Amino acid sequence: MKYNPRTMSLLGQSASIFGIALLEQMKQRDDLIVISADMSTTAGLDKFKALYPDHFVNAGIAEQNMIGMATGLTDEGYRVICVTQACFISMRDFEAVRQYAGYMGAKLIIIGIGSGYSLSFLGNTHYALEDVALMREIPGMTVIAPADAQEAVDAFDAALNLNGPVYIRLFGGTGIPIVYGADCDFALNRAHRLKEGSQIQIVAMGSMVYFAIKVGELLGDAGISAAVVDMHTIKPLDTDVLDMNVKMIVSVEEHFKTGGLGSAIGDFLAGMSAHPKLLKFGADDKFSDVGDYPYLLDQNGLSEEKIYNTVKRCLNEIERNNR
């Protein structure tokens, strides 16, 4: 369903899903149950709880128990949505998700809010920088990282019709940048080509898609032709969109450089006899100094300026070596 992009931007990804899209879905079906690990208000579920109290369960700060409860409810024919902070639903819950959603095939919709560095001042215990790596290792799991609120709603609607478990990675709070208007044509495993280019292909996920667009514009101003791709589905990966004719593929993610989008692309390229250089941007292999969101991005080389400068320098090196 399509809604006013500005309204959804103000609400943020989570509140757009639970405060708008979920309510629309409830008009058409009565098999949906939401279980939250004491994150209902933060997730934007207050209106849903008030309107549909019999379809909401607060598991408390017991994330593993939440997954067990949800699995039991799926056995009774319900479509169950589990939501809490991304750091806990991926790490604290990993074994439960692996066994129930992966091995036993429970068709859970697992939504992690506040991924990456979103929970800035709460510190390293609350940063979710390895969640994609963990979730994409579970057989049968679909992994999605929407770029804005509209794409988050579209991903949620698609997940409801998916015959298997899915992890949806949400970022930020309210007032997130708009990437798509009402024209977002979302389909699982089909990346969005946002900008065409012939020298570099920037492939980004989630929060970094907006940054990738800005970097693409800066490169264009410098005379460098850069394509930009929103790889919203990390598993299964849309490998058809990857351009083997560019000089460099650049992956950009608010996640550790290992295990996420860049690694997924690298795994594919490793099977090719010839392929472009892969330059990966992501969080460094360290626990970051705590600070506000722009500070955290900057110290890990994820600001627009640092991405632009590094890409430009690496392209110059490739061109010098090819002379």
Average pLDDT over residues 143-161: 97
Domain stops at, among 169, 184, 217: 169
Number of domains comprising the chain: 2
Same domain flag for 199 and 70: no
CB 176 within 8 A of CB 11: no
Coil, strand or helix: which one is 50?
A: helix
Same-domain pairing of 117 and 205: no
Domain co-membership, 150 together with 200: no
Q: Which positions ≥6 away from 159 have C-beta within 8 Å?
A: 109, 142, 144, 166, 168
DSSP 60-127: -S-HHHHHHHHHHHHHTT-EEEEEEEHHIIIIITHHHIIIIIIIS----EEEEES-BTTTGGG-GGG-
Shared domain check, 258 and 118: no
Query: Where does the pLDDT of residue 46 fall: very low under 50, low under 70, confident under 90, or very high at 90 and above?
Result: very high
- The pLDDT, as a whole number, for residue 124 is 98
Residue 56, domain CATH: 3.40.50.970
Long-range Cβ contacts of 237-243 (<8 Å, 24+ apart): 237/189, 237/264, 237/265, 237/268, 238/189, 238/190, 238/191, 239/268, 241/191, 241/193, 241/203, 242/201, 242/203, 242/268, 242/269, 243/201, 243/276
Is 186 among the domain residues? Answer: no
Q: Which of 169, 203, 225 is the last residue of a domain?
A: 169
Residue 251: its H or E element? strand 248-256
Mean pLDDT over all residues of the chain?
96
> Is 220 in the same domain as 165?
no
- Same-domain status, 216 and 101: no
In a domain, 177, yes or no: no
Of the pLDDT bands very low, low, confident and very high (cuts 50, 70, 90), residue 5 is: confident
End position of a domain, from candidates 116, 135, 169: 169
- pTM for the complete prediction? 0.97
- Report the pLDDT value the prediction gives residue 304, as an integer from 0 to 100: 97
pLDDT (tens digit, 9 = 90+) per residue, 241-275?
999 999 999 999 999 999 999 999 999 999 999 99
Under the banding of pLDDT at 50, 70 and 90, the label for residue 198 is very high
- Tens digits of residue pLDDT in 75-134: 999 999 999 999 999 999 999 999 999 999 999 999 999 999 999 999 999 999 999 999
The reply to whether 183 falls in a domain is no
φ, ψ of residue 166 to 5 degrees: the values are -145, 140
pLDDT at 1: 64
The answer to whether residues 263 and 151 belong to one domain is no
Residues 205, 161: one domain? no
Using N-to-C axis directions, what is the helix angle for 304-321 and 208-221, rounded to 10°? Answer: 50
Residue 40 lies in a domain: yes
Residue 281 maps to which CATH number?
Answer: 3.40.50.920
Residue that is written with structure tokens 């490169």 in the block: 219
- Asked if the structure places residue 15 within a domain, the reply is yes
pLDDT at 322: 84
Q: What is the largest CA-CA distance in the chain?
A: 68
Q: Reading across the β-sheet that carries 226-230, which strands appear in turn?
A: 192-195, 226-230, 200-204, 248-256, 277-283
b/e map 70-96, b = 16+ CB within 10 Å: bbebbeeebbbbbbbbbbbbbebbbeb
Answer whether residue 178 is part of any domain. no
- At 119, list the tokens: 């929970």
Segment 136-159 mean pLDDT: 97
pLDDT digits (tens, 9 = 90+) for 25-39: 999 999 999 999 999
Domain contains 142: yes
The rounded distance, in Å, linking the Cα atoms of 150 and 8 is 7
Q: Which domain holds residue 317?
A: 192-321
Residues 268 and 236 placed together within one structural domain of the fold: yes
Exposure of 3 by Cβ count < 10 A (0-12 exposed, 13-18 middle, 19+ buried)?
Answer: middle
- Residues 6 or more apart from 309 whose CB is under 8 A from it? none
User: Do 165 and 200 fall within a single domain?
Assistant: no
Contact (CB, 8 A) for 20 and 8: yes
pLDDT bucket at 184, cuts 50 / 70 / 90: confident
Residues 119 and 153 in one domain: yes
pLDDT band at 318 (very low <50, low <70, confident <90, very high): very high
Verify that 163 and 21 share a domain, yes or no.
Answer: yes
181 pLDDT more than 90: no
The answer to the question of residue 263 being in a domain is: yes
The tokens for 303 are: 């600001």
Would you say 253 and 206 are in contact if contact means Cβ atoms under 8 Å apart? yes
| pLDDT average, residue stretch 278-300 | 98
